[in-house]
Structure 1
């Protein structure tokens, strides 16, 4: 299984936001520069995560984005479900003549459920808390 770049960069954006001091705002531009992704792509990702409540978008002159809820309450499996299409194969008699006898779709569905169950065991906090190496990569020390 491979996550789409949409979900991949969504998770990365959440990790960046979780590394910031609580409540601190940043911009979509800063996040796109951190990961080298197109700004237009990140705008769509942030918009979807904002709709799902994972990101808060603050409008106005001093606006920006930040986590929409505490990192400890953001379950990675739930984020993946919110962002990822999760259709591994296109089954149906119009697409595949072996559909009535195929066991692959069931095996793939079981594998997907196992993957999501594992991801449900991890929160955003688990991924970033005490991760000093990640912090140095994403949030360089600001000169005094």
Structure 2
């Protein structure tokens, strides 16, 4: 499984905002430049993150982008799913009927367990944790 480039950019944008002080804003041009994200691509990502309730956007001279909640309340899972949709290692983890073997498939439990482990790991990874880990390096 590989997340999309769009999800990777969204994670970078949220990470950048998480490093700012509480209630601080950043211009999208600043985020794009600092995180090496094409500005036109970032505009679409910002829109999706805003719809998901992860960021606030405001226009004007004092406008910009800010986190909608504290970094400790935003998980890597939320950001990835806001962009790419639910994590799915194999189609059968969402719909057993997608496989001709259905529930009796010997591999399905492995896929389901791996998916649950990944989802749980991404759910535990908050941007407060990510920022702290990068400082410790």
Q: CA deviation at 1:7?
A: 1.0
Deviation string, structure 1 residues 80-104 (Cα, Å, up to 9, x no partner): 222223344457xxxxxx9313555
Q: TM-score, normalised by structure 2?
A: 0.79
Report the counterpart of residue 51 of structure 1 in structure 2: 51
Change in Cα spacing, 1:16 to 1:69, as seen in structure 2 (3 Å) is same
Counterpart Cα distance in 2 of 1:131 and 1:16: 12
Change in Cα spacing, 1:106 to 1:39, as seen in structure 2 (3 Å) is farther
Q: Aligned to 2:124, what secondary structure does the other structure show?
A: coil
Structure with a larger share of its residues in helix: 2
Q: In the alignment, is the contact (CA less than 8 A) between 2:88 and 2:115 conserved in 1?
A: no
The question of 1:71 aligning with 2:71 is answered: yes
Change in Cα spacing, 1:133 to 1:126, as seen in structure 2 (3 Å) is closer
Report the counterpart of residue 130 of structure 2 in structure 1: 127
Pairs aligned (count):
128
Q: TM-score, normalised by structure 1?
A: 0.76
Deviation string, structure 1 residues 7-40 (Cα, Å, up to 9, x no partner): 1111111110011122111111111112222111
The question of 1:114 aligning with 2:92 is answered: no
Q: In the alignment, is the contact (CA less than 8 A) between 2:26 and 2:66 conserved in 1?
A: yes
Report the counterpart of residue 40 of structure 1 in structure 2: 40
Q: Runs of at least 4 residues of structure 1 off by over 6 A?
A: none
> What residue ranges of structure 1 are gaps of 5+ in the alignment?
92-97, 135-144
> What residue ranges of structure 2 are gaps of 5+ in the alignment?
93-97
Q: CA deviation at 1:128?
A: 0.6
- RMSD (Å) for aligned C-alpha atoms: 2.3
